[in-house]
Amino acid sequence: MSRTRQVDIEPADGVLGAVVSGMDLRDALDDDALLATIKDAWAGHLVLEWRDQELSVEEHLALGRRFGDLEDMGHVATADGMPREVLVIENDPAKNESTAPPPDYLRGFQNKYVQWHSDQSYRPVPPMGSLFVQREGPVEGGATLFCSMYAAFEALDDDTKAKIAGREAIHDPSLNSANVLREGAIPPADVSQGKGPRHPLVRRHPVTGRAALYLGRRPYAYVCDYPVTESEVLLDTLWKHATDTRFVWQRRDNPPGTVLLWDNRCVMHARTELAASARRVAHRVQIAGEPPVMA
């Protein structure tokens, strides 16, 4: 029995994002027409948001699998009693203060600002999408923001487009998205010798055919075959440009029950900080992707 009524897809102000209402996401588990509606809207708006959803952990996984294979998140963190495909993003003030937080507690983000990034671009085959479910809090702060890398690419001046045409960049894995060094990671002394995979700076989206800037994360990045100083200047220019407010969906909050579906191939995301005392718990799964293709 369907709980979905009149589906409405309301585009956000600006160049990306839409809020879907009148839909119960549990219906998309077995309704192919509804799934097709979602996929269509996703390709057009790059990020979709739902509110007041009631997905169990199992339903979250099953919904993610409607878009592709889910990745094992065990290389980042596993959480007690959670399937390995679920990444738990948690700020728990009690655990932050503990000198011996449980081993499954991902201390990295805590209440920090999460820097702009595209998920796990430091792997040879990065995830195509991420499906995020806000489980608890916060009342203020901790809103996920998005920027369109199609719009950012299209708005580049011709000179910059020429500088990045046919180029690749190294995507370094040393820091997490809150700029915290990962356990055991050793950042490269010389970014041009970094060990991360090389990906095209401009990639062709396999579904829409559009070209998108692909930056990953800023720290220890390197544009191949340029002197390091030139690469640094170019990257600073590209990052400042891509995260300019005109390409950003400036969301205000993530109340519990919020579900976000974003496309790592053509958007970056960030998160506003929150009070150290604010408890916030989110779950998310990653949908497997394909090797980026040069545009």
- Point out which residues bind ligand OGA (CB under 6 A): 89, 114, 119, 130, 132, 144, 177, 269, 271, 282, 284
Which is closer to ligand OGA, CB of 20 or CB of 261? Answer: 261
144: partner contacted, choices Mn ion, ligand OGA, none (Cβ within 5-8 A by kind):
ligand OGA
Burial of 183 (C-beta count, 10 Å sphere; 0-12/13-18/19+):
exposed
Between CA 240 and CA 245 the distance in angstroms is 10
Q: Is 90 in the site for Mn ion (CB under 5 A)?
A: no
Q: Which residues pair with 199 in a beta bridge?
A: 169
132: partner contacted, choices ligand OGA, Mn ion, none (Cβ within 5-8 A by kind):
ligand OGA
Between CA 287 and CA 123 the distance in angstroms is 14
Integer CA distances (angstroms), 79 to 37, 105, 233, 257, 258, in order: 33, 7, 40, 20, 21
Between CA 198 and CA 240 the distance in angstroms is 21
The least distance separating Mn ion from the CB of residue 211, rounded to whole angstroms, comes to 22
Cβ neighbours of residue 288 under 8 Å, at least 6 residues apart?
Answer: 68, 69, 70, 71, 125, 127, 128
Which is closer to Mn ion, CB of 231 or CB of 264? Answer: 264
Hey, what amino acid is at 49?
E
The least distance separating Mn ion from the CB of residue 57, rounded to whole angstroms, comes to 19
CA 232 to chain centre: 23
Which is closer to ligand OGA, CB of 130 or CB of 231? Answer: 130
Residues between 105 and 134 with contacts to Mn ion, criterion CB under 5 A: 119
Which is closer to Mn ion, CB of 78 or CB of 286? Answer: 286
First to last CA, the chain: 44
Between CA 18 and CA 105 the distance in angstroms is 32
Which is closer to Mn ion, CB of 71 or CB of 119? Answer: 119
Beta strands in 201-290 (DSSP E): 202-204, 211-213, 222-223, 248-249, 259-263, 267-271, 280-287
Which is closer to ligand OGA, CB of 234 or CB of 278? Answer: 278
Which is closer to Mn ion, CB of 85 or CB of 119? Answer: 119
Asked if 265 and 289 touch (Cβ cutoff 8 Å), the reply is: yes
* Residues at the site binding Mn ion, with contacts judged by CB under 5 A: 119
